[in-house]
C-alpha cells in the first residue's frame, strides 16, 4: 500500500499515544502554575462595565487552526487559564472567544464547559473557523475587537503564512495585552530531527517544520517585545523500536504524520528514521528506555 497522510481522526488516535507516554501535560501545567499568575497579573487593562458594576476583561482563547495536535488538551488548558485569571482578578467578567474549525472539537469543548459549574462569570463565543477565516471575517466586518490575552498553543505548524498570522493576532491585543505562543523548542528532538534528518521523513505531512527560533525571528522583525520560557518535556518512544508493537506503530505514525508508516514506508526509510531517533541530539537512554526530547518554548509577547 502507498504512504498517505493521517486523517483528522487518525491523527487524534496517534496523538493520544503521544500524550499517554509524554510529559506534555505536566510541562504545560508547570508553566500555568509557575508563570501564568504573573502573566495574568500584568494584564492591567480591565475596563469598567457599568451594566454589571464590575470589571470586565476580554479574553481570546482556543485552537486557532485545524491542527489536531491538542484536541484532548486545549479545552482543559483553556479553562485552567481562565481560572488563573479569575484568581488573579476576582470578580472579573470574562469574554472568551474560541476559534476552532472542527465541529466535533467545538461540541466536545461545549460539553466540557457545561460540566464546569465555576464559570458563571465567563461568556463563550464560538467561531467554527480557521484562523485565516476568522481574520478575513474580522477584516470584512471592520470590527477589530481588542483582547487582553490571546494564546496560540501548538497551532502555528499548520498556518500557511506564519508571519502574517502572528502580525494579525498581535494587532488584536489591547494596551498591556499579552499573546502566548507555545511551540517546540530548538533544543527538542523534533528540531534536530527536522533539521538534520528531514530527508528521512515522508513528504506526506504538510505541517510546517517551525520551532522557537523561527517564531522569535518573526517577532523581532515585527519589533514585538517578548520573553521566552524554556520547559523540559520528555516522550518515551521505546515502543517505536519493537517490531509488531501496536503502540510503537501509532507513535511512528504520529512522528511522521503518516498512516501505517511502518507498514507502508520502504525498509531503508524505516531504518534511517529509527537510527535518527536514537541519535543523542534527539533522544537519551535511561534504564533501557529511549526518551525523546519534547522540550517546549513558551513565548510571551507584549502588545
Residue 114 lies in a domain: yes
- CA 22, 257, 276 angle in degrees (round to 5)? 70
**CATH classification at residue 11:** 3.40.50.150
Tell me how many domains the chain contains.
1
Residue 256 lies in a domain: yes
List of E strands, 84-225 = 93-99, 122-127, 147-153, 173-184
Tens digits of pLDDT across the chain (303 residues): 688 988 878 888 888 899 999 999 889 889 988 998 888 887 754 333 223 333 444 555 433 322 223 334 467 778 888 888 888 888 888 888 888 877 877 888 888 888 888 887 888 888 888 888 989 998 898 877 888 888 888 888 878 899 999 999 999 998 888 999 999 999 999 999 999 888 888 776 666 789 999 999 999 999 999 999 999 999 999 999 998 999 999 999 999 989 999 999 999 999 999 999 999 999 999 999 999 999 999 999 998
Residue 270 lies in a domain: yes
Residue 58 lies in a domain: no
Range of the domain at 110: 4-36+63-302
Residue 54 lies in a domain: no
Treating both helix axes as pointing N-terminal to C-terminal, what angle do 246-256 and 267-277 enclose, rounded to 10 degrees?
Answer: 90
Residue 53 lies in a domain: no
Residue 49 lies in a domain: no
Residue 41 lies in a domain: no
Amino acid at each position: 500500500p502507498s504512504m498517505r497522510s493521517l486523517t483528522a481522526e487518525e491523527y487524534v488516535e496517534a496523538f493520544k499515544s503521544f500524550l499517554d507516554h509524554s510529559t506534555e501535560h505536566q510541562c504545560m501545567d508547570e508553566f500555568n502554575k509557575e508563570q501564568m499568575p504573573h502573566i495574568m497579573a500584568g494584564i492591567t487593562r480591565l475596563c469598567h462595565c457599568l451594566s454589571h458594576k464590575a470589571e470586565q476583561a476580554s479574553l481570546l482563547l482556543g485552537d486557532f487552526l485545524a491542527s489536531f495536535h491538542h484536541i484532548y488538551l486545549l479545552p482543559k488548558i483553556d479553562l485552567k487559564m481562565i481560572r488563573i485569571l479569575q484568581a488573579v482578578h476576582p470578580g472579573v467578567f470574562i469574554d472568551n472567544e474560541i476559534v476552532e474549525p472542527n465541529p466535533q472539537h467545538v461540541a466536545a469543548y461545549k460539553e466540557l464547559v457545561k460540566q464546569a459549574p465555576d464559570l458563571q462569570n465567563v461568556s463563550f463565543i464560538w467561531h467554527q473557523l480557521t484562523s485565516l477565516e476568522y481574520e478575513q471575517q474580522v477584516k470584512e466586518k471592520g470590527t477589530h475587537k481588542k483582547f487582553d490575552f490571546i494564546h496560540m498553543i501548538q497551532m502555528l505548524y499548520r498556518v500557511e503564512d506564519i508571519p502574517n498570522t502572528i502580525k494579525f493576532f498581535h494587532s488584536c491585543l489591547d494596551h498591556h495585552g499579552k499573546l502566548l505562543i507555545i511551540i517546540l523548542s530548538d533544543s527538542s528532538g523534533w528540531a534536530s530531527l527536522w533539521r538534520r534528518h528531514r530527508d528521512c521523513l515522508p513528504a506526506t505531512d504538510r505541517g510546517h517544520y517551525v520551532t522557537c527560533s523561527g517564531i522569535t525571528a518573526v517577532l523581532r522583525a515585527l519589533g514585538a517585545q517578548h520573553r521566552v520560557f524554556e520547559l523540559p518535556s520528555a516522550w518515551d518512544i521505546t515502543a517505536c523500536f519493537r517490531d509488531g508493537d501496536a503502540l510503537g506503530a501509532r507513535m511512528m505514525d504520529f512522528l511522521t504524520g503518516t498512516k501505517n508508516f511502518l507498514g507502508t514506508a520502504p525498509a531503508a526509510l524505516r531504518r534511517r528514521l529509527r537510527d535518527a531517533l536514537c541519535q543523542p541530539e534527539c533522544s537519551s537512554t535511561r534504564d533501557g528506555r529511549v526518551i525523546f526530547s519534547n522540550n517546549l518554548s513558551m513565548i510571551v509577547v507584549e502588545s
